[in-house]
Amino acid sequence: MRGLQRHRFGATSTAALAGWLLACGVAGAADVPDAARLERIKHVVVIYAENHSFDNMYGLFPGANGVANASPEQSTQLDHDGKPLRELVIFGHDGKPDPSFPRMPNKPFRIDAPPVNRPATEIVYSPTHLFYNNQEQINGGKNNMFAAMSTVGGWTMGHYDGSVFRLWQWAKEYTLADNFFMGAFGGSYLNHQYLICACAPRFDNAPQHMRVQLDANGKLSKLPASPSANVGALQMVSREGGQVTPDGFSINSTQPPYQPSGVPPVPDGPREMANPKGLVRHHGEADVPLPPQTAPTIGDRLSAKGVSWAWYAGGFQSALADGMQDPALPRKVIYHRAPGSPNFQPHHQPFNYYVPYAPGTAARAEHLLDGDKFMQAIEGGRLPQVSFYKPAGVNTQHPSYSDIITGDAHIADVLEKLKASPQWGDMLVIVTYDENGGFWDHVAPPSGPGFGDRFGPGSRIPAILIGPHVKRGFIDSTRYDTGSILKLLTRRFNLEPLAGVRSGVGDLSGALN
């Protein structure tokens, strides 16, 4: 395997290099047009894990733009008053400092080393990761408000030595993208939507209590708090509970209108539908499901061109049965963390919000499939041209309900199966994460025309590109976001573009030979 390389050529320098190689009679990847590189790819597999920033998992990766490159301004976290925190304090679910954690200097720290010593096998706190919180944490690219805008405080600044991860070894062998950003600000729900439509869903008639409260500056309306984050001001973030912007975009977790959903069916109504009146939460008002959506998705674009595809979800069939049972019965699969449950997360299933994939449609039966079908298709060499694989909750690496190592082993096992598949020879596998999970990353998300808009991109996340036509031992620093996956599919299969994909981001071909 070649040593790790960086790819930092702009368009002009790449063209110049290609011309020089040709003039010297040197054949190589530089003289292969991007279109030809993409044409070699017949099968694309996207594996979508959960809730880690690049620095949190790959910040120590050799040769990558990691934690050591953070400036003092980026690594020193500020309190709500604009002054540096005296120290990092880790808060528990009760909103109070957790005495099991030491107070630490105001800088990034190793989670899996002294004095914290929490191994990657341990289930740990999940920082706040909501739409407006993420923007305030980024703070115009300074990335210095992560601790102050999180319910777990300084925990956001932690990272792991990822060399123990099996996925780290895949990243060393193939291509690690170290300039890949989550497509939308905030959490899993909106980033799953962005993965398939590059859009935020509409919820024009959302109840008022589901709408976010903003102040006159367009920032979160804060609750009263004490003057220092070291004694409790971190809880100022707690008011964002709303799921919908004031002008009707659904941005934070909202349940699908179809089962499986976190909202049970009507007792005497159709079991495949969520109760449109919603589910009463702790605040005494009902959070209603999102209305069925009609915006175009990448699935629609693929189908229009006759390109075969499927969204495979771990635990889908058992969650469907769980969702369609008598609503008076307790759920044992959906949002259920007991041993043996896949802990299925309905808000991670974006196609289940869209009219073309409603219960009873032929498109749903063809394209929304269980994770077991994915494994069978791999082994039998029957994968469609485009596969999206969403592991069950227990295997997603999502903090608070799964650990890193379990999901790492699961995804690595899937990669081994894919490499042994008869379809491997023309396959491209993209392993990435929906969002940063509220964890700090030092790189400023791109902004400006062609690179940013009101919905994102958010913080930097890991992305590994794997396959026989992927550069080996390579670090790709091309500017990407989640929409780059859609851009690659659009170019490779000559699809009608989705309007929300940003023009300035790359299409992942920079990682291909």
pLDDT at 239: 45
pLDDT at 29: 43
CB 479 within 8 A of CB 451: yes
Q: At what angle do helices 483-492 and 188-197 cross, to 10 degrees?
A: 20
pLDDT at 107: 97
Q: Which CATH class is domain 5-19+34-68+89-511?
A: alpha beta
Those residues of the chain that have pLDDT short of 70 are 1-33, 222-241, 282-284
Q: Calculate the CA dihedral of residues 474, 483, 349, 427 and round it to 10 degrees.
A: -40
pLDDT at 241: 59
Cα(257)–Cα(270) distance, rounded to whole angstroms?
A: 12
Closest CA to 214 of 233, 239, 238, 189: 239
Q: Long-range contacts of range 206-210, CB-CB < 8 Å, 24 or more positions apart?
A: 206/243, 206/244, 206/248, 206/250, 206/288, 207/285, 207/286, 207/288, 209/242, 209/283, 209/285, 210/242, 210/243, 210/244, 210/254, 210/287, 210/288
User: What is the residue-wise DSSP string for 38-90?
Assistant: HHT--EEEEEEE-S--HHHHHTT-TTSS-GGG--HHHHS-B-TTSSBPSSB-B
Cα(505)–Cα(182) distance, rounded to whole angstroms?
A: 12
Q: Phi and psi (nearest 5°) for 119?
A: -70, 165
Tokens encoding 34:
């991007």
**In sequence order, what are the residues at sequence separation of 6 or more whose Cβ sits closer than 8 angstroms to the Cβ of residue 324?**
259, 265, 271, 272
Closest CA to 429 of 418, 438, 437: 418
Closest CA to 396 of 406, 386, 385: 406
CB 108 within 8 A of CB 157: yes
Its sign, for the CA torsion 145, 148, 150, 154, is positive
Closest CA to 196 of 425, 446, 495, 508: 495
Give the C-alpha distances (Å, rounded to integers) separating 150 from 133, 155, 320, 373: 8, 9, 34, 38
The pTM of this model reads: 0.92
Buried b / exposed e over 93-108, threshold 16 CB at 10 Å, is eeeebeeebeebebeb
Per the listing, tokens 């309905």 go with 346
Domain ranges of the chain: 5-19+34-68+89-511
User: How far apart, in Å, do the first and last CA atoms of the chain sit?
Assistant: 15
